[in-house]
Amino acid sequence: MKADVFSDHRHDGSMRLVADQAAVVVVDMINEFCKPGGKMVLPGYETIVPQQKAVVAAGRRAGLPIVWVADSHRANLRRDREWVKRTPHCVEGSWGTEIIDDHQVLPDDRMVRKARYSAFFQTDLDLLLKDNLITQLIVFGVVTNICVRSTVHDAFFHGYEVVVPHDACAGTGDREHRSSLYDIATHFGTVCASSDVVAGLADGAQIANQVMEA
């Protein structure tokens, strides 16, 4: 018997991105997690940047809103929930909370600052998206198994159709990365390559869900 018969009960159809209903959400591509001197640097972040830039560029060409999400925590709190479990990081207004200079943030882009793993939790992201009549999200960034996954979960709970380009994300390890993508593909959204997203935005090509082995 297969180990995961539960996840076999799913629909594996393809989906199509609709430009005037979609947005790009880039999660936590900030100095604190990517650049030397950051408090919690993820090794190898640079390997996912070219794919991210390709998706952002495709999104801009198609007229999609680009939303940059950055972890940001107030200083001098009596208790920060993330800091209970993690090293204090991403203090509001610090260099660590800035988007890495590998990416170009344009004046018309949107910025969402969060104090929990999910970009939806007690932020105005849902309101921002709904005011722009967005129903589809292309979500990627770091890290796959924490903030990306939490954001994808909440996007699903809020009724959005979610696409995650797996090669534009990185996890805390390969096992965690693949396991999270497996769960997203089988329960929460569509997992594909960044090139599939680029093609889908360019010509409306169908995007097939890729269920990667965990």
Confidence check: pLDDT of 81 > 90: no
Please indicate, yes or no, if residue 144 is contained in any of the structural domains. Answer: yes
Confidence check: pLDDT of 107 > 80: yes
Tokens 């329960």 correspond to 187
The pLDDT of residue 41 is 93
Confidence check: pLDDT of 151 > 70: yes
Do 139 and 192 touch, CB atoms closer than 8 A?
no
Residue-wise pLDDT for 34-59, tens only, equals 999 999 899 999 999 999 999 999 99
Confidence check: pLDDT of 171 > 60: yes
The H or E element that residue 165 is part of is strand 161-165
Report which of residues 211 and 112 the model is more confident about: 112
Do 55 and 138 touch, CB atoms closer than 8 A?
yes
* Amino acid of residue 131: D
Cα–Cα distance, 38 to 96 (Å, whole number)? 6
Residue-wise pLDDT for 4-20, tens only, equals 776 666 667 779 999 99
- 3-state SS class at 54: helix
Please indicate, yes or no, if residue 3 is contained in any of the structural domains. Answer: no
Q: Burial, 203: exposed, middle or buried (Cβ in 10 Å; 0-12, 13-18, 19+)? A: exposed
Confidence check: pLDDT of 96 > 90: yes
Please indicate, yes or no, if residue 211 is contained in any of the structural domains. Answer: no
What are the residue ranges of helices labelled H in 24-111? 31-34, 49-61, 81-85
Please indicate, yes or no, if residue 213 is contained in any of the structural domains. Answer: no
Cα–Cα distance, 22 to 61 (Å, whole number)? 13
Average pLDDT over residues 121-134: 98
Please indicate, yes or no, if residue 212 is contained in any of the structural domains. Answer: no
**How open is the CA angle 188-134-90, to the nearest 5 degrees?**
70
Please indicate, yes or no, if residue 136 is contained in any of the structural domains. Answer: yes
Query: pTM here?
Result: 0.92
How many separate domains does the chain show?
A: 1
The DSSP code for 207 is B
What are the residue ranges of helices labelled H in the chain? 31-34, 49-61, 81-85, 125-131, 149-157, 174-183, 194-203
Q: Domain containing 111: what range?
A: 14-203
Cα–Cα distance, 118 to 112 (Å, whole number)? 11
Tokens 């722009």 correspond to 132
Which CATH number is 172's domain given?
Answer: 3.40.50.850
